Chain A
């Protein structure tokens, strides 16, 4: 039996993918903490209804090594957007607040831990049902 056929595991995997994407975006913000005119980005919140309906953002992909690389960054399957409400911005127009970003990183990390723990617990439950004990 493929565990991933269970909806629960699919949802967990999706959420983990979203958290991965968010971590990437947050790293980008932190790396650009001193870049002039940089506005921090964040991933769009995971829309449960949209995922139930099976709607995902479509983005072009390189399917052959002969294709030219794009001039825009890959959007991923979650899409990120510039943060509209920023705490403050420096005279050169940078509005990354490291504290805010660090809070988000910690939050992402905790959520990710939650997801992996849930994943493991449910796997253990299935194993128990199979009669092999935990």
Chain B
């Protein structure tokens, strides 16, 4: 266990939070993506989950993306008979994305990213102090 290990762990933390931000961006970008076929399913919200994993080479526990899944909740319905994707009753299925939820998730990812950055900074300062002993 040394400071390089802690740098590596924090870097893994940064990476997964970056991945999480990517999924959130995908969801936000596709918040209005509907299908072209009448009555078809629109874009389904994606979810991400993490897991604790052992880096066997280094003998340390880091974090990685466990799974990028999909949200199985119901789609939003909107009455719009003139739309090409409308079903026989005139409803269009919209993605099951709540922008508010995505924004909250984004803020949380941002905070976690910041915390990892701070941890890197702390480890770096400690390393620097050790090197300064040589002066």
Q: Are A34 and B50 in contact (CB under 8 A)?
A: yes
CA distance in complex: A116, B127 (Å): 11
Q: Are A74 and B52 in contact (CB under 8 A)?
A: no
CA distance in complex: A108, B125 (Å): 11
Q: Are B126 and A30 in contact (CB under 8 A)?
A: no
> Given A109-B126, A116-B130, A116-B133, are A27 and B119 neighbors across the interface (CB < 8 Å)?
yes
- Fill in one digit per residue for B9-23: 1 if any A CB lies within 8 Å of its CB, else 0: 110110011001000
> Given A30-B10, A73-B59, are A20 and B122 neighbors across the interface (CB < 8 Å)?
no
Task: Determine the chain A residues whose CB is within 8 A of the CB of B52 once the complex forms.
Answer: 32, 35, 38
Q: Are A98 and B115 in contact (CB under 8 A)?
A: yes
Tell me how many residue pairs across A and B have CB atoms closer than 8 Å.
Answer: 118
- How many interface residues does chain B have, given as a range? 35 or more
Q: Are A109 and B125 in contact (CB under 8 A)?
A: yes
Task: Determine the chain B residues whose CB is within 8 A of the CB of A116 once the complex forms.
Answer: 129-130, 132-133
**Interface: A89 (CB within 8 A):** no
Residues of A within 8 A of B (CB): 16, 19-21, 23-28, 30-36, 38, 69-74, 76, 78, 98, 101-102, 105-106, 108-109, 112-113, 116, 119-120, 123
Residues of B within 8 A of A (CB): 1-3, 5-7, 9-10, 12-13, 16-17, 20, 49-52, 54, 56-57, 59-63, 108, 111-112, 115-116, 118-120, 122-123, 125-126, 129-130, 132-133
